[in-house]
Every structure is written in C-alpha cells, then in structure tokens.
Structure 1
C-alpha cells in the first residue's frame, strides 16, 4: 500500500508496479491538491547537490518517459539564471566550472534573447539545459490516471487512513472504507507524517514550510500577446535556495549584499523565480515561512513584495494577478525523510521543497532497501 497520491506517493506506486507488485494507493482527497500541484512545475535538476543531484538526474529520465506514456505536456526548456551583480556572475562562473557542460555561461545579450529581463540590470547569466518544465496541475493527475490503468495498480480515492497495526509479516491498515492488509506500506503524506507518527517527525525535525505564490499575466510580446518565455527563470535569490550553488565562495557576498540592499527579500526567504504555464501566464514566487502549525492568514505584503520584485526584474508596470495561493511542504534539516516508524511501514518525504525534482529518482532507492 502507498498512502498519499502526490508525486512522492505516485513515484513509489509507479516504481512498485513496474517491479511486478500489486499496489493499492490510498488518498484521503478525491484528487491531489497539495504540494504536488501548487509548485512551479520545474524540474530543477542541475542546481542540486549530493544525493539530491543523483535522484534528480534519475528522475529527469523518468519524467521524460512518463510524459510520453501518460500523455502530458513537458518542455525540455532549461533554466536561465539571471545575474544582476558581479558577485552573482562569479557564483555562476564557479558553478559552470564543476557542472561539466550542464551549465553554460551567457553574456548579457544571450540572457536578454531568452528572457525579458530588465536590460539595465542584467550583467550576464547561465543556462542550465537539463532542466525541464511541466504543468503540475495537469501532470500529477495524468500520472495518477495512467498508473490506474497498469496491471496490479489500484487507487482508492477519498479514503482516509486511520491507523496501522503490526501483524505477522503484514500490516493491518485501518481506513475509512474498511481494513486492508498489506505486506509493506509506504507512507508518503508529506508534512502530515506527524499525524501518524509524531515521534518520527519530531526526531527528524519535520516542520511545515508555507509559501506564497501567484499566477500573473506575462509581459506582452512583439505581437501584443503574452511573451513566450521557454526556460524557467532564476535570480540571485535562487542561488541562496539551491545547494549546488554553495560550492562557490562568492555566494557569501551575494547573501551579504542582498541582506544590505534588499532585507525584505531575505526576511521572507524569497526565491524570486518564474515559470510559464502552457496558457502563457506565469507562475511567480515564492516566500518561505516555517512552523509546526502555520497560521491560516495570508499577508498581502508578501504578495506585494513578489509583484514589486517581478516588475523590477522585467522592467514592467504592475502585473495582473490571476490567482493567489499558499503552498505547503515538509521541511527538515535533512533533505529527505526515509524512516521506519514500525515494522512494515516506511515513512518517506522530500523535506527540502524539491519533491517534483527528486521523487521519481528517490523511489527506486527507497524500494531497493525496503522490499
């Protein structure tokens, strides 16, 4: 049994069925509505480091194959990292030296040819060609539908897991639709692991990270419609979020300068980045706040901060907002939770905000050690 039909749960279900197992996915809602559909739809493979980098590039190939099999939109569009200061350009130069062709330096004109950044601010940048984009609102449901059509695959939507009991070589899972016996259980409920195994969550330091995001109209193109922006767009704040950039000694200077010049960005832990959806609108974000139990209120000042910084990045007037939402994901000191809270049950969560990037590569490693 896999508990949770977000991208982490589906990754394990797809992998297990591919190994010839009979798998039941149980999901409390009638569709995925959490972190897996509230994100940028960005496969941020190149900027990872350590085990996350390994999982990411395994996931890349699986995303491309799944897009063909499950028939959803995917763009091998890469990412443009815009450098607007000398220290940011130095970080990119250091990064490109160790990424073996996976990061190509760009001059100012090459950046402006790819993204509609403010010409007065751009010094240079880098292109990360291995990164991809999907529409998470389409891709995750498409994977769930495709999975349900596979031999040995079963999905129980609108079904709540109420508890687990260890048996002799099996686990009894009590659900709102009756009891189920499973030989193995993958608990892939993201930040809600504490609802089932609070001590496991406490030991791992799991909290909830909430983030504010928006969907806005793109700057106008030459023909008057929305400008097509193929790559994802990173900025200097993105360098502070992704571990791959930490190899550069210049990253300290980036943080110190942004703290002095734009303290609001640092206080809100902003990752100013943009991806374009298939309809031409842009996903814009994001802020980060951490708590075991986040408050329900959505500060408008944070949305205004994102909108102001995006307008500065693009040198446009006020951006038209089409949607606003709050994302939430599991956060912990370690990037991944892979724990066994009781015999026969493995709690798995991506605790670093990179579930879409790594889950399809993490799942094979988890199952190798668990089955």
Structure 2
C-alpha cells in the first residue's frame, strides 16, 4: 500500500463517514476513506430514506437544517433521488391531535401545516376509520437510501485527492496512522466513523459513553397500486422524535398506550412508512438495545408491524417480500464526539438520525479539527 499521506483519513464509508469526506473535499483537503466492506451495507442502506428535519430539537435541528441543503445539492451532483415531499403525520386520537397542534404552535405554520381528516387522507393513502386529522412537515426530505451511499462514494472517488480503500479492515488507530489489514494508512488527521462498531476499535471510549447496539426490525411490503410520496408517521412516531415527544399530547398518549397497547411500548415501535422507487413500502420499526444483541429476530415483532400497517392503510392485500435488521449506535445524547488524541477523533450519531443530521454534524467536527 502507498505510504503517501492525506490531510484526512476517514474510517468508515457509511453516511457519517461519507459526510466527513464530502465536507473535507469542499475545504480542499485530500482524503482517504477506509472501509472494511466492499460497499456500504449497514445502517446507511437499511433505513427509511427519511430526513426527519422538523421534529428535531436543538443541535440536531441545526444539523438537520444544514444537512437538508447538502442532500439537495448532492442528489444533483451524484445522481440520486432526493424528493422535497415532506412528511405526513397521522392523528387518530385526541392526544395525537394535541401533539401536532402544539408542534405547529412551536414551529410555525410555514413548517407544520395542520390537516383535516379529509386533507390527511388526500395527502396519504390511509384508512379514514378513526382518522382525526394530521400534519404536513413540509421541509422533510425523502432520499433513495439504497442508492445514495454508493452514489456519493462514486462521486467522491472522482474528485481530485480522494481515494477509497474498500474491503480493508482497520486494526488500530494512532496519531497520523491507521493500521489496516493491507498495511499502514497515513494522514494528518483521522476521524473514526465506525458507528456501533466503535467498540471494535476503541472499546474504552464506547464503554465510557455507555454505547449499546440498537437493533431494528423492518419489512419491505408489497402493496399493489398504492402511491405514497411523503414519509408517513403515526402516533408511535410522536413518542420518539424530540420535538413531538416533548408535547403534552405525546406524554398523554404514552400514558394511554401503557394501559391499552403496552405491546407497542414494549417493542419500542416507531410505526412509519416510506415508499421505494419500485413501489414497495419500507415498514418499521421496532427497537431492542444491548451491547451484544441476541442474533434472533422476533416473529411477534414482525406480525405487530404488519398488523399496524394493515390497520393504518385499511388494506389486507399486503405481502412481505423482505425482512431485515438494522443496527445503529445508541448512547446518552444524540451525538458522540470524542477527541482521543491530538490527531484522532471518534464520531458517531447515537440516536438513529444519521441520515437526517450527518451532513450538518461533519462540518462542525472538521471545524473543531481545524
């Protein structure tokens, strides 16, 4: 392997690592990206393709807003779909309606437009049974998640001063040096974006952060003739996204579900849908947490997700064509940024919002390195 040095070495070619490489290139830096697999196969492709901007708070909201502009630009430059289609949030109870009304008050009608039941059913193909209304989060994006990471990597590889080392395991990291299974890789600065596998490289850092793996169960569902442009969120989503979870309506909803639908809370369900370019739906998701998760999927969780989807859409003609597990790093707070030595920084999104925030997070990290 060449001993030539780069301004920045990025460990990991998932969306967080790619975001750091993109920002470095725009600063005129030379970049080497080291990735253990021959392509991105982790959380960066196993997600909903949903940039949930409006429902974030604080630093995550600032990062998400910055990332939005980068996604739109990269979609054009790298040649993958980024749709400004927004998100429809469905309200099927008084508590859910109250949560959306409070969010609209906090964010303003330019970001959150409340919908009647008829408007909600027109915006998304949901059942009108029990439908009270909804909201449109107009600034949210939908990204072609199964193409985006590969397209961004291809675009980066064509830029001057950028090289990718695929299928290259990282054995250790020191100031100015990444030791790999193919030999040393040198760089003035190193950013480690290994996600939930940070503990494979820096176990003490992961342990200090209380990092665990969050395992998601997700489905690809065939729904003949269905068209869904925006992302579709439900009441359980209101319990997970910060700007909604902080509302009085969401707190009341959690209390009611704890008595009436405890299985949704026990599985930590965020029931939401997006549509792939071929027409199938991405349906999810459940959440379980452990440093070393059990390797088994739960058929009960899959049945729960499918039943919720049939009820939401008012359709029984839904067929599961794929099942998978997603995994992401989970820890206290939304982001981990650890300066491990003068030239080495570990970065992880620890809240499952990497697609939403990575292109805002990366510039802040590189600013701190500069």
Q: TM-score, normalised by structure 1?
A: 0.96
* Residue 223 of structure 1: aligned partner: none
Partner Cα separation in structure 2 for residue 103 and residue 65 of structure 1: 24
Partner Cα separation in structure 2 for residue 3 and residue 105 of structure 1: 43
Q: Does the CA contact (< 8 Å) of 2:88 and 2:232 recur in 1?
A: yes
* Residue 270 of structure 1: aligned partner: 269
5+ long unaligned stretches in structure 2: 1-8
Q: In the alignment, which of 141, 146, 151 is matched to residue 150 of structure 2? A: 141
Indicate whether 1:111 and 2:120 are aligned.
yes
* Residue 196 of structure 2: aligned partner: 191
Q: Does the CA contact (< 8 Å) of 2:52 and 2:356 recur in 1?
A: yes
Aligned-partner SS, 2:331 = strand
Q: Deviations over 1:329-362 (max 9, x none)?
A: 0000110000012331100000000000000010
5+ long unaligned stretches in structure 1: 221-225
Aligned-partner SS, 2:346 = strand
Q: Does the CA contact (< 8 Å) of 2:97 and 2:249 recur in 1?
A: no
* Residue 53 of structure 1: aligned partner: 61
Q: In the alignment, which of 93, 103, 119 is matched to residue 95 of structure 1? A: 103
Indicate whether 1:81 and 2:89 are aligned.
yes
Aligned-partner SS, 1:136 = coil
Aligned-partner SS, 2:122 = helix
**Superposition RMSD on alpha carbons, in Å?**
0.9
Indicate whether 1:201 and 2:206 are aligned.
yes
Indicate whether 1:9 and 2:17 are aligned.
yes
Q: Does the CA contact (< 8 Å) of 2:89 and 2:234 recur in 1?
A: yes
* Residue 134 of structure 2: aligned partner: 125
Partner Cα separation in structure 2 for residue 173 and residue 289 of structure 1: 32
Q: Does the CA contact (< 8 Å) of 2:233 and 2:273 recur in 1?
A: yes
Indicate whether 1:19 and 2:27 are aligned.
yes
Equivalences, count: 361
Deviation at 1:205, TM superposition (A): 1.1
Partner Cα separation in structure 2 for residue 231 and residue 260 of structure 1: 31
* Residue 78 of structure 2: aligned partner: 70
Q: Deviations over 1:104-163 (max 9, x none)?
A: 000000000011211112100100010111121111100010011011111110111111
Q: TM-score, normalised by structure 2?
A: 0.96
